[in-house]
Structure 1
Amino acid sequence: MDNKFLPTLLLLACTPWLGACGQDEPAQPATGVFAEVSSEIRKEMDGVSREVREAMATENIDIADDGEAPAEITPQGDLLIDGRNVELTAGQRALVLEYRGQIAYMAETGAAIGMQGASLATDAIGQAFASVLSGDTEKMEAEIEAKAEKIAQQAVVELCGRMPAMMQTQQQLAASLPEFAPYADITQADIDDCHDGHYSTQ
């Protein structure tokens, strides 16, 4: 499948430095240095989320994998392959725009899930400090793991769950537009792998 964007989106949802993904309950307040770290992490993730939204709305989206000829989709639905503007019918342009919209959804949703992960990471800092003082580290670990698993499952549902529709759009484009065929590389095996728990916290 196209490795240019999907792994990055899933990485946003569950990056190792976050330690976990997601939050459903109000944050435990952090004090002193923990509050500063929390603020900085949230600022960074806010910036990432903003940049993703702006890029999806205004910039060309690269759909080529390594070894493939450069290919991009413009915000207007033009398909550029190796610098050439591929001539499109109205129906083909509609499909190209549908595919671009699917990529944009994945990117923006991945960024949003990443924001939840950042929130949990900052909460975990304060909770870890409090649990060390109280001696109740097992309870803290269980709570964090439960929240992390929930957000990991959200990533599977929201991101992996969209892959069949993307594969279908790719296949429709490949059938209608031979120039697009090399970029229609999402397979059922990719979908199965995604759902097999590769993004679980277990």
Structure 2
Amino acid sequence: MNARKSPFVLLLAAAMVAVFAGACSRKSDTDGVHVSVIDHIAIGGDRVTVRGGGQRAEIGADGAIAIDGKALTLSAEQQAAGREFYLQATGMKRDGAAIGKAGAAMAGQVLSTVVQDVRDGRTDQTEAKVEAQADKLREQAMQVCRRVETLRQAQQRLTAVLPQFQPFARIKQGTGDECKDRG
């Protein structure tokens, strides 16, 4: 790689970091910090909050569900489906955080590699080194894409056993496909 391509590689790496780190957004709320997993799903404390149809459902780690603050009486099957939805949503949060950390680490590594290779006059392999780092990050991003589909399936199971959850079932089939196509 010649020195003329180096800014392009750095720009590409910075753009990837920004995209992957932005997969989850943080916003302040009266209850503390919430992490938005998908636009209508937020995680704060030990609750997953899902918005739909002008209502708000909260799902606890144990699968307990409340709609607009009113706890639902659930069968064991319904509670298990709620617990699975909770696990998939919080798993997506963890995956997104891991990508953000990996992206930041990759940006530092890329910058270090480019600077060292330019300084040492060994830029012929810089692009390959950067691409190898980017491939690792792409694979982590694909995990989030797969998690979207897994979360959608959990949503469908929950809706099948708990019809009251229907207004919150806003993850459509193929939602993760756009993400996969970019990888």
User: TM over 0.5: same fold?
Assistant: yes
The equivalent position to 1:161 in structure 2, one of 127, 136, 146, is 146
Q: 1:183 to 1:57 in 2, by over 3 A?
A: closer
Tell me the TM-score normalized by structure 2: 0.68
Q: 1:188 to 1:138 in 2, by over 3 A?
A: farther
Q: 1:19 to 1:169 in 2, by over 3 A?
A: closer
Are 2:51 and 1:64 equivalent residues in the alignment? yes
CA distance in 1, matches of 2:84, 2:14: 28
The equivalent position to 2:82 in structure 1, one of 91, 96, 121, is 96
SS at match of 1:169: helix
Structure 1 residue 20: deviation in Å?
Answer: 8.7
More strand by share: 2
Offset from partner CA, 1:131-177 (integer Å, 9 cap, x none): 33234445323321332133213321x22223333222211211221
- State whether residues 19 and 121 of structure 1, in contact with CA within 8 Å, keep that contact through their aligned partners in structure 2: no
CA distance in 1, matches of 2:18, 2:157: 39
Backbone CA RMSD of aligned residues = 3.1
SS at match of 2:174: helix
Offset from partner CA, 1:115-146 (integer Å, 9 cap, x none): 22222111122223223323444532332133
The letter of the residue matching 1:102 is Q
Structure 1 residue 96: deviation in Å?
Answer: 0.1
Structure 1 residue runs of 5 or longer lacking an equivalent are 1-13, 22-50
Q: 1:102 to 1:108 in 2, by over 3 A?
A: same
Runs of at least 4 residues off by over 6 Å: none
Are 2:170 and 1:171 equivalent residues in the alignment? no
The letter of the residue matching 2:181 is D
SS at match of 1:185: coil
Tell me the equivalent position of 1:139. 125
Q: 1:70 to 1:149 in 2, by over 3 A?
A: same
The letter of the residue matching 2:17 is L
SS at match of 2:51: coil
The letter of the residue matching 1:141 is E
CA distance in 2, matches of 1:77, 1:69: 18
